[in-house]
Structure 1
Amino acid sequence: MLVLRSSPASPFGRKVKIAADVLGLKPLINVEATNTADPDDSIRQQNPLGKIPALIIEDGTVLYDSRVIVEYLDHLAGGGKILPIGEARFPVLRMQALADGMMDAGILQVYEHRFRPEKYRFEEWKAYQAAKITRALEVLEHTTPATVTSASDADAGNIALACALGYQDLRFSGVWREKYPRLVAWLKAFEDAIPAFKTTEVPPAGFPTKEEPLR
């Protein structure tokens, strides 16, 4: 049995969970709740960076980060499933990189809110991170990816994008939806085609308090 260290709100963990479901590997994975803010959580021994997701494979090896885990899951499923082989691979990797960057920028804004007392928060830093997401959304609205109509259309890039948009709903009240109707329609189609997107959803919560697990 594989063990996935993650938390429900982690967009990177969600990406791995959806990938596993699309690949038919969900029954092989036990998801173990993780709190990266807890110094006693074993995640710091399993991943020296103390970050999630981390996948413990059957020989005890721990894989991280989400891109490596997704690659491993695709390998387990026979290869070339959600990470194409050949030239088609690179647009998928590029989309995954863009979506991962959006998630990183969102998480950094959340951390600025969570870890700094209000009087020490660096609003320019938050704006710098928010601008990355805005630029990505603008590009994606005008070059919207192909619609996902079934699991066979899913790949690492569009799974990551769905999770990035979902994280905007979770932590930023879905305000992106007001300006990007083509992306809204794209995400609705993805949700309809990929049931795991709904089953991995966490209700919108805004920025976490210090008592909540990270992400």
Structure 2
Amino acid sequence: MKLYWSSTSPFVRKVVVSAHELGLSDRLETIPTRVAPSKPDPALLPYNPLGQLPTLVLDDGTVLYDSLVIIEYLDHMAGGAKLIPSLAERRIEELRLHALCNGFLDLLVQWRIESLKAEKQIALINAFNLKASKIWTNLEATVEGLAQQPFGLSSITLAIVAEYADFRFPKLGWREKYPTLSDWHQSIQTRPSLASTRFFDSSKPQ
């Protein structure tokens, strides 16, 4: 299977971490791909008309996109209900928390894009700050219960929220403000699936 991939995409990383957790990482051939809102990759568009990462091309030519769809497929390949529970109540709760964390990743990516603009929209940045504060507070209150659950989709996504915030916003200071969340992340960050897939900027020397 071919995974169109970027070392800086939190959504790609969700897929790669999930593949590691499921024992499927050796089945993925990663295709380095650079995408930007103003610069679609012409090599990616025939497979994904949205021009977005991640995109997974299966061995039979079927194309999957959106990280949740890809992870659902990988979970099924691994026998099912490994990362996403099958029982309705647990499944809905897992997907609910995933939606919050994944939405936060969307917000952080948009925040990053806006922060790089020469002329910033102050009202938009203020809105980002307000939403981020509410989300961090919600996650701080939620994470203690999450620590008692199997390491699944929502845990993976929350771990990537923490690491993407560190990667792109090193001066944010979220760890001091939200110590329970920080402690949880410290306790799981050495998992091989996370430790072997760290974010890095491929445009800079390593």
**Counterpart for residue 191 of structure 1:** 189
Once the two structures are TM-superposed, the CA of residue 39 in structure 1 deviates from its matched residue by: 4.2
**Counterpart for residue 10 of structure 2:** 11
**Counterpart for residue 167 of structure 1:** 164
The letter of the residue matching 1:123 is I
State how far apart, in whole Å, the 1-side matches of 2:32 and 2:44 are. Answer: 10
State how far apart, in whole Å, the 2-side matches of 1:108 and 1:74 are. Answer: 29
**Counterpart for residue 100 of structure 2:** 98
Once the two structures are TM-superposed, the CA of residue 103 in structure 1 deviates from its matched residue by: 0.4
State how far apart, in whole Å, the 2-side matches of 1:132 and 1:73 are. Answer: 32
**Counterpart for residue 46 of structure 1:** 47
CA distance 1:106–1:212, shift in 2 (3 Å): farther
State how far apart, in whole Å, the 1-side matches of 2:53 and 2:130 are. Answer: 25
Maintained 8 Å contact 2:20/2:193? yes
**Counterpart for residue 150 of structure 2:** 153
Q: Which runs of 5+ in 2 are unaligned?
A: none
The correspondence of residues 118-129 of structure 1 with structure 2, limited to 5 A, is: 118=118, 120-129=119-128
Secondary structure of the structure 1 residue equivalent to 2:8: coil
Q: Percent identity?
A: 36
**Counterpart for residue 71 of structure 1:** 72
Once the two structures are TM-superposed, the CA of residue 201 in structure 1 deviates from its matched residue by: 1.1
CA distance 1:40–1:101, shift in 2 (3 Å): closer
Deviations 1:49-69 (A, max 9, x none): 111011111111111100111
Secondary structure of the structure 1 residue equivalent to 2:146: coil
Q: TM-score, normalised by structure 1?
A: 0.86
The letter of the residue matching 2:102 is D
**Counterpart for residue 57 of structure 1:** 58
Once the two structures are TM-superposed, the CA of residue 3 in structure 1 deviates from its matched residue by: 0.8
Q: TM-score, normalised by structure 2?
A: 0.89
Maintained 8 Å contact 2:56/2:70? yes
Aligned CA-pair RMSD: 2.0
Secondary structure of the structure 2 residue equivalent to 1:143: helix
The letter of the residue matching 1:168 is A
CA distance 1:45–1:195, shift in 2 (3 Å): same
Q: How many residues align?
A: 199
Deviations 1:130-168 (A, max 9, x none): 3222211101112224327xxx92111110111111110
Once the two structures are TM-superposed, the CA of residue 127 in structure 1 deviates from its matched residue by: 2.1
Maintained 8 Å contact 1:19/1:70? yes
**Counterpart for residue 132 of structure 1:** 131
State how far apart, in whole Å, the 2-side matches of 1:153 and 1:88 are. Answer: 11
Secondary structure of the structure 2 residue equivalent to 1:46: coil
Q: Which runs of 5+ in 1 are unaligned?
A: 206-210
The letter of the residue matching 2:112 is V
- List, as ranges, runs of 4+ consecutive aligned residues in structure 1 with deviation greater than 3 Å: 37-41
Secondary structure of the structure 2 residue equivalent to 1:200: coil
**Counterpart for residue 32 of structure 2:** 33
